[in-house]
Structure 1
């Protein structure tokens, strides 16, 4: 459980090593979501288990693709996703989190594109900070050995509870 009294605010912990945070156990991701919601974060969940087509549809809805670009859904073009993320729909609190559940399914289908998605999210999170907006990304994968490519020049870290290999069943 992400206890703010022990580690400080959960959001600051999640931003410490970059915006992208890895989770193996779904229960820990759910705890993280609750901790962020308690801090007035708007937490959106994207279920990646059904593959790229479903991911594209869900991202289109989240990013209000039709409103931004006049067509829908997002067609999977990663340059277009980059443009779409610049219009991320922040709530009035300017604090948002995106939880990608089952990310291993996207990686299995297209490792390169899934890495680019994480890189784009990291990039936009940093850009949003310039405007006093926070975007935290929680990535759940069933692959306890998952090592994503560098995102924003750094390696995404496993959450505090699963940082050590033995806590991910290794």
Structure 2
């Protein structure tokens, strides 16, 4: 389900429409300017994908999605962040990734680049959100995770407390005999 939903947002057709060739060559296609709603959606997707890149998602897919921000430079200019990826990967590898022609060794290099750049870019992505998405990110996404963690800790503490009390009562009953 996740991959299907993500593929609608970051797909080959959209990337080929929005991505120009790497620096030093002329752009093959003109940049499609996305409206504010689509840009905000793209920023939210990128923020949600960051933890998934470390777990089970391909880093090259994240990079392709990140390079779709070209169409959103009128809202928040991510050209410096895209240059970070370009510098770490090189024009040839980046071109293969953006054209869906990457190999497993390319994926390993992409993973390294994403690992180094993701945290640096997260603040910028969050600051690019509109105010309703920003509030949702901090209230729903962050607080929900914090509350879930607190519930796990409190449940664990209550369970351990119950076990210790049961063991103490068992020990007291055994000593009475």
- Note whether the superposition's TM-score is higher than 0.5: no
Bigger CA radius of gyration: 2
Question: What's the TM-score once normalised by structure 2's chain length?
Answer: 0.29
Bigger strand fraction: 1
Which of the pair has the greater relative contact order for Cα pairs under 8 Å at 6+ separation? 1
Question: What's the TM-score once normalised by structure 1's chain length?
Answer: 0.29
